[in-house]
Structure 1
Amino acid sequence: MDHHPRNASDRTFNVTILPNAEAASAAVADKILSRVRAKPAAVLGLATGQTPRRVYAKLIDAVANGEISFAHATTFNLDEYCGLTCSHADSFAAYMHRELFDKAGFDQHKINLIDGAAADEKAEADRYARLLVQHTVDLQLLGIGTNGHIGFNEPGSSSMSRVRVVELSEETQAANRPTLIELDQVPRHAITMGIADILDAREIVILATGQAKAESVYRSLREAPDDTCPASHLAGHGNVHWILDEAAANLL
């Protein structure tokens, strides 16, 4: 079912609330599949973490069933931990290859990832920023942190922010700790697309599931945009689709 909540400025949002995480993930996967069917050479902005895993599994199934080809698609990842090589099991590069790229027929030359092991992190952020400028993301997939972060844009991030090195909050480090495979601690720094980079996408799809995300979803949709809740800045974009399960939507 679709709902259209409004924030403090009475802005209408495109929000779909589905019974559970499985249904919400299927709806997101369908949006990505539709975009790539309409434009096989689409540029996709991709996220990592627990939330998109079900989405990527459904994309892999669609490839296996002969329903789609990603061979012509270009991808950009949102972020990467600093200090990890692309082959490190806890890097987002390795996550993407494990969870999607290696099983879904993506062209390795069209995959754009941040080098977390770059000796000069600022130079690497600048390199990635230059790459982004040469493309327009057709569909950007996002999750949302319990503190409202998108990508690794933590509370305090400006809507004008661009690719940069950031320090991760204690809350984000704690939230990501259960996902670690080899590391004992979450790296303290990362390189992330900025909020302005995210807002440059033609379409944004944000997936939120679970009770833990309910407060940040509420703040993003019902309160005026504010740097203390980075996802609230999505209100400034004209083509954002929020896809939620009932748990994440229960404060709306």
Structure 2
Amino acid sequence: MPKEELIRELFEGSPKRRRLAAEDLAEYGDEQTISALFRAMAEDKNGGVKEVCAESLKRIGGESVIKGAVEALKGEDPLAKALCLDILAHFGEDSIAHLSALLESPDYNDRKYALDALAAIGGGKAMEIILAMTKDPNPNVRYTATEYLADFPKDPKVTQTLKDLLQETDDPYGISTICQVIRSRKEAELLPDLSDKVRHVTDPFIKHWLYKAMVALNGTDHLLDALENALEIRAVEDILKDMILARGEISPEAKGFLREKGIELEERLLKEGL
């Protein structure tokens, strides 16, 4: 079937014919075809059609496809955006050079799109850029970059960055994000830094995030303080669940605290709730 007829089928045929047209268009690598596939991926209501469009674009490859995927990240359709990230990840570090316009954009949303792409691409080069983005002036960008650090392997640069962020950050959202990443990465080297930070914090909810990270890392120095603070904000079960995840059980010290405070909790039920 001629290319023009395939493009017409891509937008006007039944779902099955649209999928077949999208598949056959992979044989053409011109700008018109690439543009049509991206348009269908963004506009078609059928998820199967969208996915075949993405596969055809990966088969076509090249700079135009990568550029198109970067531009399409700004679209509103969630599946189309996810497929664009998949396309960029497929081409790996070759995609990174085409993210510079988004990374340097004054619009923080563009910078977040670039972070999404870098996280999907992965690898050392992407990690270096994400580390740099943890210093972005916009907190939405800065903490999105921080969240993505959770996905990278152990690396002293990541540990140092998390340490710096912990020292420099005081807002609740920032602290909770950093602590979640520290927990996820099991950054036990940062236990002293968490301990130091909690001594300089007065907000019980911020303290709670710091204590949660310490308990999750199997830290014992501030266990009773963590429980006292959790009692104040009615989050004792939260701390106990972290303890069970870290140790497999509630410690004798914690059980003594519960008895002293007259708190009755069934350890078995807590474990079942994890």
TM-score by length of 2: 0.24
Higher strand share: 1
Which protein has the larger Cα radius of gyration, Structure 1 or Structure 2?
2
Higher helix share: 2
TM-score by length of 1: 0.25
